[in-house]
Amino acid sequence: MKKLIVNADDFGFTRGVNEGILRAHREGIVTASTLMADGPAFAHAVEAARATPSLDVGVHLVLWPAPGVQPGAAFQDWRLPRRLPWFVARALWSSSGAIEAEFCRQVQKVRAAGLCPSHLDTHKHLHLLPWVMKAVVAVARRFAIPWVRRPLYRRQATARGLRVPDYLVGFRLTGTMNRNTLLRGLSRLRPGLSELVCHPGLFDQELERAPTCLKQQRQVELEALTDPEVRRLLERQGVELTSYRDC
């Protein structure tokens, strides 16, 4: 049997992103989302999540830049061969223990807002790095969060009693997802549990000014995720839409 979780990243990034995620949930196929604890629109996202209990909420763990570093900046160090995005630099220069402490703080903030996260993932998939994955596993176990987005280190997660989907879909579609690429990707789903990663949002002035490379693309993804043909394809293939909370 084919089951599909459609998770929208970056909940809490801007109000327009929040509204796009909610629309993709109400009118489209999004079933879950991961919340940025320190996102500029965190309070708005929390209020929206409380008003929309059908939306499964997890935590989108972010290694924010050091104080004084702009989120859109690159990091230059003489020991490195090239300029690195700030989130990669933060991961490289932080110990697993320091990352764990930061991620714990973010989960605690979400829980203090009255939400009970069911799953964890990381901004820019940083838990592909083994020491970041180690921190994510520790945080999930500490707060009894059962699910983690499928990384390369699946065995590390399952050995510690955590659950991961069988497949991750949409990783390579980031920045290029539209109606056609989404339909092609979903037509190739395999039996088992898959997670589709997506980034819907409303493109507005706030998003235009925000430090992100996904701007108009978020609106394109929103339109794809709410396209009736996408849902019809899932129905024809017998794909069951679900969420982390319901698995």
Alpha-carbon separation of residue 72 from 85, 160, 199 (angstroms): 8, 35, 18
Encode pLDDT of 167-196 as tens digits: 999 888 888 999 999 999 999 999 999 999
Sign of CA dihedral 86, 16, 39, 139: negative
CB-based burial of residue 70 (10 Å sphere; 0-12 exposed, 13-18 middle, 19+ buried)?
exposed
Length of the chain: 247
> Mean pLDDT per segment of 10 residues, for the chain of length 247 residues?
97 97 98 96 98 98 66 47 60 82 96 98 88 94 96 77 93 90 96 97 94 92 98 97 97
Judge whether 19 lies within some domain: yes
Encode pLDDT of 93-107 as tens digits: 678 898 999 999 999
Q: What is the CATH number of the domain that holds 145?
A: 3.20.20.370
The Cα 31–Cα 5 span in angstroms is 6
Determine the Cα angle at 152 with ends 101 and 8, to 5°: 70
Overall domain count for the chain: 1
CB-based burial of residue 165 (10 Å sphere; 0-12 exposed, 13-18 middle, 19+ buried)?
buried
The H or E element that residue 197 is part of is strand 192-198
The full DSSP string for 93-146 is TS-HHHHHHHHHHHHHHHHHTT----EEEEGGGGGGSHHHHHHHHHHHHHTT--
Structural domain of 116: 2-242
Judge whether 226 lies within some domain: yes
Judge whether 41 lies within some domain: yes
Q: For residue 124, what pLDDT is reported?
A: 86
Judge whether 247 lies within some domain: no
